């Protein structure tokens, strides 16, 4: 019998917890082998087809359902929840090819690829009435990013040309940065998860993967011999020319945009061993629960948020996101959006308006 309840995904929550139990066990055993000790095998909990008799089984149906919901809502966030975006097979797993074929970057250097004024427009292009749970999870992800009061993700109107079209698909995917016109972002209804939606929205804002930054080899080890060829693009390191000037902050092991220490047969050749681990001996890598403090700091830096809050910023200039013909000037800790003289672009490198060929603000010649 098919139910139309929004709580149909509750069993999947239990599945992810079981996966996490097995995942932690495998990782501990692998670490012991690396240290030269014998692993202590711990049997997994035995599966049973028999429903145990308990006070819960005697509860009326509605009361039991409400109890289960309350328990799930009260449970702490699991930072190791399966990163569903890692299972896609585009550029770097979940990144769709650029319309303009511009090389992917950790954070888009091309200012035209940022959303003007930090205002990303989106549409929910699927049947929201039949997929209310999916809609609610997407809006929750949108609210989480908007809560930082830096960028604004808002619904596009019928007259807006540039926007993100959020659709249902067989995988999680997004273009990187503003593409021009409608650009797709896909999520999977059956496995919808707020953190994975946030991850894709960050791609749409212009952010790449933390584990692919040019200096990543100083912090993590990647065992390419244990990665299927189809999954190797997910670990393609960016060049030193890719990131925005002075954008690189401290390496963030737990970034929303970092790979997790996955054990999946679509990525790992040998699922008893990891494909990526930390050089400092730490255990945790990546998560799909929240923006970390460094994620938030990077977002503010790229989109010039709060650049004028300190007196030291007075009389300094900053780029205006998404429009090379404008810049931000600080006066008395207040930001003012100014226009460059006609035909000139603001140069992030030179901190002044210059001819487009010198300003290097965008790779496009028609803006």
Pick the catalytic residue from 190, 200, 247, 306.
Answer: 200
Is 14 annotated as a binding-site member? no
CB 65 within 8 A of CB 153: no
Determine whether 200 is an active site residue.
yes
Is 199 annotated as a binding-site member? yes
Is 211 annotated as a binding-site member? no
Spatial distance between the Cα atoms of 173 and 139, rounded to a whole number of angstroms: 17
Known binding-site residue numbers for Zn(2+): 199, 203, 209
Which positions are catalytic?
200
Known binding-site residue numbers: 199, 203, 209
């Amino acid at each position: 019998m098919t139910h139309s309840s929004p709580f149909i995904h509750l069993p999947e929550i239990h599945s992810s917890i079981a996966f996490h139990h097995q995942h932690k066990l495998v990782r501990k055993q692998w670490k012991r082998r690396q240290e030269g000790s014998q692993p202590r095998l711990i049997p997994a909990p035995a599966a049973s087809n028999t429903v145990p008799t308990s006070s819960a089984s005697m509860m009326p149906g509605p009361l039991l359902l409400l109890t289960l919901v309350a328990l799930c809502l009260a449970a702490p966030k699991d930072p190791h929840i399966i990163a569903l975006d890692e299972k896609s097979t585009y550029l770097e797993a979940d990144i769709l090819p650029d319309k303009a074929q511009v090389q992917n970057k950790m954070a888009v250097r091309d200012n035209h690829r940022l959303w003007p004024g930090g205002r990303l427009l989106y549409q929910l292009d699927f049947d929201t009435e039949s997929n209310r749970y999916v809609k609610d999870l997407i809006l929750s992800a949108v609210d989480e990013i908007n809560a930082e009061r830096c960028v604004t993700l808002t619904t596009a109107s019928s007259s807006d040309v540039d926007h993100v079209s959020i659709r249902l698909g067989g995988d999680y995917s997004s273009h990187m940065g503003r593409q021009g016109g409608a650009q797709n972002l896909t999520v999977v209804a059956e496995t919808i998860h707020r953190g994975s939606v946030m991850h894709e929205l960050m791609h749409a804002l212009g952010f790449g993967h933390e584990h692919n930054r040019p200096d990543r080899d100083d912090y993590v080890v990647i065992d390419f011999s244990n990665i299927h060829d189809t999954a190797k693009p997910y670990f393609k390191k960016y060049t030193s020319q890719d990131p925005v000037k002075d954008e690189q902050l401290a390496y963030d092991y737990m970034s929303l945009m970092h790979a997790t220490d996955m054990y999946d047969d679509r990525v790992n050749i040998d699922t008893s061993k990891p494909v990526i681990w930390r050089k400092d001996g730490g255990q945790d890598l990546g998560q799909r629960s929240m923006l970390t403090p460094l994620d938030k700091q990077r977002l503010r830096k790229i989109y010039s948020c709060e650049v004028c809050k300190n007196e030291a910023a007075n009389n300094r200039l900053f780029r205006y996101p998404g429009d090379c013909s404008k810049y931000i000037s600080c006066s008395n800790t207040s930001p003012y959006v100014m226009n460059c003289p006609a035909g000139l672009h603001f140069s992030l490198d030179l901190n002044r308006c210059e001819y487009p060929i010198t300003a290097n603000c965008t790779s496009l010649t028609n803006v």
